[in-house]
Structure 1
């Protein structure tokens, strides 16, 4: 295994024991081997097969996007400024019904390029044609938790075919790409899946030993519909159906009561907070400070590029820090360091990768990015965590490594042909629009 060394580095580790290190980091194979202050020891220099001068950069864990629909990059800008149900039913679903596996492949490739360029090393994806998504993850070098999103508004035989497809995908791809691909099971949402269908998906997750992921309580209308149809709000509904009997990640969770927050905490359910998408669709503002105080693991997601409209997780980090200050009128409610944890270490915990990635720490995977600080908005050198949250953007990311492999160098993608991807994605869109 290759051993290499980064010297003269400022490391924003996200490790509570040593949050900032001015020194060096050694990587061996796919993992971080050692981190130290000051100059690297002579032994580290002798054993390193390659040495990188880290001056002019901040090194930090790669960002983790815990909710999205990658191939929806093909629908970016197609139907803006609409509420969720109108947007979904009248614009997104009719277009998505035309998607082929080829469309999903190139839409996901476009998303992968955008994520690498903006610092995301791990992402969650819920969509269809997931074998093509997995191919992109395998070839791009990214890490991902993938799930075949299942909508149950269809006859029983179609429901069963979708569930069989999701199970088959899990069996084929869980643990593949040298372990970079993990799989979850996903009923799309309580308003798109009948209760007995959700129970079947939960049973499959138990049989396969996999986590579950779903949309939940994104809009007031969704909550009201759940009460009309089933007599209870979505959190209690999903709890009764057993969805929280497995490790679970719910997206959005905007409209929650105190009792629901307590139940999510009790069941160890993680929440993917999608602030930009929720604002764009006017869905509301999630109660993130209350969730955090209750002990719920809160992470960040962009949602799909059709409702965001970019995949820059730095924007979500900054929005999470600012939005909840404005709503609560308390400037300390989500401080910069906490916002950065939402996009890194908390993201890893939310998808079962705590102790695998999300921090710079010996023994963890070498999934990290280098952010250029030789720019006007990083001066003066006061508090680099503050600068990352309040001043930085994905455009500041210069280099990326996942599993110890470099995916981007000086903003040049090393595993993807971005020019071809742009052409093919545009071709796919033109066919869908025709």
Structure 2
């Protein structure tokens, strides 16, 4: 391991103030900000002048390898999109599709400032895990299981095997969750089996919840209850749970979320594009529920740019609530960083402070969209684009410098991704 010194950056402190300071990184953690110990000797120095240093984004919900289907099925209703475009094509995917799609996602996420992501997807997740370790960011990986499929139970068991083989891999970069797709695709006995396995092995749950009105109506007609009550009755919520979307919620749903400390993963870009609705984020925050942000998959967003999700979260709820104070810039940034770390059970991640993991993004402020610099947090959320990401450090390692990703072959990935995606849809 080595020591790293970032010189003279504008640093976003844990209280969301900004100060010009040096950052000392020892091995994987931030040692000091500002008052650097006299005996600290840097093995490497990064120039931080005219750069804004902020925590890396935490993408709380995505389907990484769906980059292969970006622009393949747009301007469609959710179930039409799933049934007629996405699921039939996903059924043809082989290991190479998953691997290359994952690599493309990792490249895009690093270049837009993401240092941790939660992925729920299909077979061959081992390839995505290995690519994540090589890329050098944190992956919270789940094998998505659909209970309506004949192989559903086997997929849950595969998820357990993934946990046993990879949880903690990559010097702690990888953690494994249990992927239970959604209430409308997972019958009660399937959810109960998922709970049994998850409890036995202490695996947290990643699930889609209440994304559309149609799925809520379907569950009510089938089981006489809303999806949150339905899943609660299977016992799944006994495990730590991240619930993606949480768009259509009533008082009972929110009470269940509070009771079980469920984290909501808000995906504003995807929900807007698919016209799913608007999650009641201001109310959830007032109720003390942890809300984080996700991009969802690149086929329903269509990018994996967390800075864009932060901006959407800040702006969408202002117009939806007709309140310019709803989800201010600092709150939106918190949703994309420390709240995501909390949701994904990442210890000492999501802030820049001594003792926290050195997951740091450096934004180049020598740009028109960063000028004038009255309020750097406001500039990041409302003005800057992810193209200003100049450097990325994760777990104390420099993985992107001067706009170039050091851990991935960008030219090869882009070329291969184009070829593989075309082959997939024409297969």
Q: 1:148 maps to which residue? A: 143
Does the alignment pair 1:35 with 2:33?
yes
Q: 1:5 maps to which residue? A: 5
Does the alignment pair 1:57 with 2:51?
yes
Q: 1:390 maps to which residue? A: 382
Tell whether the 8 Å contact from 1:312 to 1:393 is kept in structure 2 after alignment: no
CA distance in 2, matches of 1:407, 1:69: 22
Say which of 148, 156, 165 aligns to 1:163. 156
Secondary structure at the counterpart of residue 304 of structure 1: coil
Normalising by structure 2, what TM-score?
0.97
Cα distance per residue 1:185-236 (max 9 Å; x no partner): 0110011111110111111111111110100100000000010011100111
Q: 1:234 maps to which residue? A: 227
Structure 2 unaligned residues grouped into runs of 5+? none
Say which of 133, 136, 140 aligns to 1:138. 133
CA distance in 2, matches of 1:163, 1:62: 31
Normalising by structure 1, what TM-score?
0.96
Deviation at 1:154, TM superposition (A): 2.4
Deviation at 1:41, TM superposition (A): 5.9
Q: 1:83 maps to which residue? A: 77
Cα-Cα RMSD: 1.2
Cα distance per residue 1:321-357 (max 9 Å; x no partner): 000000101111101000000000001001001x421
Cα distance per residue 1:104-150 (max 9 Å; x no partner): 00000000000011000000000112111111111111111000000
CA distance in 2, matches of 1:71, 1:243: 26
Aligned residues: 425
Q: 2:267 maps to which residue? A: 274
Q: 2:212 maps to which residue? A: 219
Tell whether the 8 Å contact from 2:64 to 2:298 is kept in structure 1 after alignment: yes
Cα distance per residue 1:60-96 (max 9 Å; x no partner): 1000000000000000000101111000011000000
Q: 2:319 maps to which residue? A: 326
CA distance in 1, matches of 2:72, 2:220: 32
Say which of 42, 48, 70 aligns to 1:48. 42
Tell whether the 8 Å contact from 2:60 to 2:265 is kept in structure 1 after alignment: yes
Cα distance per residue 1:259-301 (max 9 Å; x no partner): 3112212210001000010000010000000010001100000
Secondary structure at the counterpart of residue 305 of structure 1: coil
Deviation at 1:423, TM superposition (A): 1.4
Does the alignment pair 1:415 with 2:407?
yes
